Structure 1
Amino acid sequence: MALYLVLTTIDGSLPEKTPELVDWGSLSLITSLIITSKGLELSGIFGRLAPRLVDRANQSGKRLLLLLLPTIAFSSAVIMNDTAMLVFIPLIVALSELSGLDKEKTVTLSAIAANVGSALTPIGNPQNIIIWREYGLGFSTFVVHMLPFVLPWLGLLLVFVLFSPDESLSVESLPPVALRVNLLIVSAFLLGLNVYLGETGRHVLAIVITLVLFLLLERDVLLSFDWALVLTFAFIFIDFNEFSYLISKAGLSLPTGGVKLLLASAGLSQLISNVPATVVFIGSRPSWLPLAVGVNAGGTGIIVGSLANLIAVRIAGVSLRDFHRYSIPFFVLSLISSAVILLTT
């Protein structure tokens, strides 16, 4: 209300009605997908996968990374990048303690892989969910348009691995992880259902069904879910929707397309993180593809660019210097490649 009164014009008239400060539709869909991702995490499906990757690596750290990073990227496209970090980073930390694997390098490249993989689908991260819902895009449409950018990013990440020194792993096996089949089935069903409901605009129904099914069938998912994360996203929508509105009322203009939008959204993501940056730019209704590419590339740079980075560093105890030693060069190169692709398409 205070903001509304401040924006009263000089002649005493009131400005046009402000937009709804919280995008409840996007918040509902984000929450339902994060809860579903928590169900997939607790099912143990990814914990069962990790030992197999170690076995296939044949005690080679480089080979393990070449197997692990695409797995994290693919997982992030399905269960969101933040959840992928919660699943894989503890395994990486345990593996580094047992085998001598370079924890700093592996954690940083894993965080980059999570951000890269999540960029591919509209359910891979919160900023994509916001763009997907706001522009009414089809699931396959989003994937097809993002694929020419995500593939070079993933290729660049693997080049980083290939040119890094190899390490000899001493771990022969990891303890087995139990697979909860019923939880896996329920979570996979809800994931598919939430994608469908998201595409058809029934976002509130998605969160209602998700809560009811987990409450009736797998209550521990709701009990172990970090509800403070939902409040965090709610505050993001409130704060940065106001900021976007102020920019509009001040007569300032933000880039609305092309390489300028790509660079501006990626740059702003380095300052306030990519989800708030998306909220700021989306108020001016820019072209969705340069915005999506920019905010997703922005998540791979400075640690604050993505919540997934903060989760990875916090769990693993990696220093900012070690993280940025890999993330900033990757960010610069990925941004250059993205600008070239955008100019030539």
Structure 2
Amino acid sequence: MEVQKNRRGRVLNWLRRDPVLAASCAAALLSAFFVPPSRAYLSYLDLRVLCLLASLMVAVAGLKKTGAFDFLMDHLLKAVRSTRTLSAALIGVCFFTSMLVTNDVALITFVPLAILMLAQRQRLMAFVIVLQTVAANLGSMLTPLGNPQNLYLYGRFNLSAGQFMSIMAMPTAVSLLLLCLALLWIRPETISPPAEKKTGCAKKALPWAVLFCVCLLAVLRVLPYGLVLAIAVLTAALLDRSVLRGVDYSLLLTFVFFFLLIRSVYKELHADRETGC
């Protein structure tokens, strides 16, 4: 009885911790009743997207571990003179970094910094965090690696990086303009720069920056995605194995379930059309 309660507790905690993963898993299992599991399931997975996403996550986790993002943010804030410019920096860094490190990583990295720097201004903090969330999602539209969905569309329609960015340039520019207009709601109050200075070690960050560039070459189809994933895992294993624990495996698994669900639904609908149903 006690064992069953513990199992239920673990399941409930898992559902609360990652409801999207739980929902995608349940949907994929449900689709298996209509399209029974077989070897064809392996072909449902977009290995290119999964490998690219995993490689980028390893590189970004390594950069974050070395303090590279904190170091970058500290230098960006040197020009801050008021609450409006501070808010613009906090929101802008989410907008632009999400183009390279994905929207969720940008938020995980910079929202805690906004909470820290705006702790004495609760109303402003809430407003800035909302705009950070909006900015990260809008900024990530521009590039193929801005979010996992972009990677999928980029590969699915066989676009070049230039084609993808030209399509998304206008909505991204309009989004940036609207974010700038939203900043006008913030009253400019004079503030002092943060006393604590973040430091970064360029030597420690350099291998991860190089790895990130290698990942970009895979996104641009210059290097094979399987080779780049192997390089990313080997780099983490040699430099810092704890980086591998910083990868969001739940997101990767969520995409696995989504691929299984979507292809199963597609196959079922296609079968219905062939039978005239």
Q: Indicate whether the TM-score tops 0.5.
A: yes
CA–CA separation in structure 2 for the residues paired with 1:57 and 1:96: 13
The match for 1:30 among 53, 56, 60 is: 53
CA–CA separation in structure 1 for the residues paired with 2:198 and 2:36: 57
Q: Which residue of structure 2 aligns with residue 3 of structure 1?
A: 34
The match for 1:151 among 173, 176, 181 is: 173
Q: Which residue of structure 1 aligns with residue 156 of structure 2?
A: 134
Native 8 Å contact 2:35 2:264 kept in 1: no
Q: CA deviation at 1:127?
A: 0.5
Native 8 Å contact 2:145 2:219 kept in 1: no
What SS does the aligned partner of 1:195 have? Answer: helix
Counterpart amino acid of 1:20? S
Q: Which residue of structure 1 aligns with residue 267 of structure 2?
A: 245
Native 8 Å contact 1:81 1:114 kept in 2: yes
Q: Which residue of structure 1 aligns with residue 187 of structure 2?
A: 166
Q: Which residue of structure 2 aligns with residue 48 of structure 1?
A: 71
Q: CA deviation at 1:140?
A: 2.4
Q: CA deviation at 1:2?
A: 4.0
Q: CA deviation at 1:141?
A: 2.5
Counterpart amino acid of 1:108? V
After superposition, give the CA deviation of every residue in 1:161-207 in whole Å (9 maximum; x if it has no partner). Answer: 12x13153655414222313234212221122112123327222221
Report the TM-score when normalising by structure 1.
0.63
Specify whether residues 98 and 215 from structure 1 end up closer, same or farther in structure 2 by C-alpha distance, changes over 3 A only.
Answer: farther
Task: Compare relative contact order (CA 8 Å, sep 6+) and give the higher one, 1 or 2.
Answer: 2
> 1:34-183 maps to which residues of 2 (within 5 A)?
34-58=57-81, 60-100=82-122, 102-162=124-184, 164-168=185-189, 170-183=191-204
Native 8 Å contact 1:137 1:199 kept in 2: no
Counterpart amino acid of 1:47? D
Residue 192 (structure 1) aligned with residue 213 (structure 2): yes
Q: CA deviation at 1:66?
A: 2.5
Specify whether residues 211 and 19 from structure 1 end up closer, same or farther in structure 2 by C-alpha distance, changes over 3 A only.
Answer: closer
Q: CA deviation at 1:84?
A: 0.5
Tell me the C-alpha RMSD between the 2 structures: 2.6
Residue 207 (structure 1) aligned with residue 229 (structure 2): yes
Native 8 Å contact 1:133 1:199 kept in 2: no
CA–CA separation in structure 1 for the residues paired with 2:35 and 2:217: 37
After superposition, give the CA deviation of every residue in 1:194-240 in whole Å (9 maximum; x if it has no partner). Answer: 12123327222221111001111232311333333322222222223
CA–CA separation in structure 1 for the residues paired with 2:207 and 2:267: 40
CA–CA separation in structure 2 for the residues paired with 1:34 and 1:88: 16
Native 8 Å contact 1:99 1:171 kept in 2: no
CA–CA separation in structure 2 for the residues paired with 1:98 and 1:203: 46
After superposition, give the CA deviation of every residue in 1:301-333 in whole Å (9 maximum; x if it has no partner). Answer: xxxxxxxxxxxxxxxxxxxxxxxxxxxxxxxxx
What SS does the aligned partner of 2:118 have? Answer: helix
Counterpart amino acid of 2:34? L
CA–CA separation in structure 2 for the residues paired with 1:221 and 1:36: 9
The match for 1:21 among 35, 44, 51 is: 44
Q: CA deviation at 1:100?
A: 4.8
Counterpart amino acid of 2:45? V
Specify whether residues 157 and 245 from structure 1 end up closer, same or farther in structure 2 by C-alpha distance, changes over 3 A only.
Answer: farther
| Stretches of structure 2 lacking an aligned partner (at least 5 in a row) | 1-31
Q: CA deviation at 1:117?
A: 1.3
CA–CA separation in structure 2 for the residues paired with 1:174 and 1:229: 36
Aligned length: 240
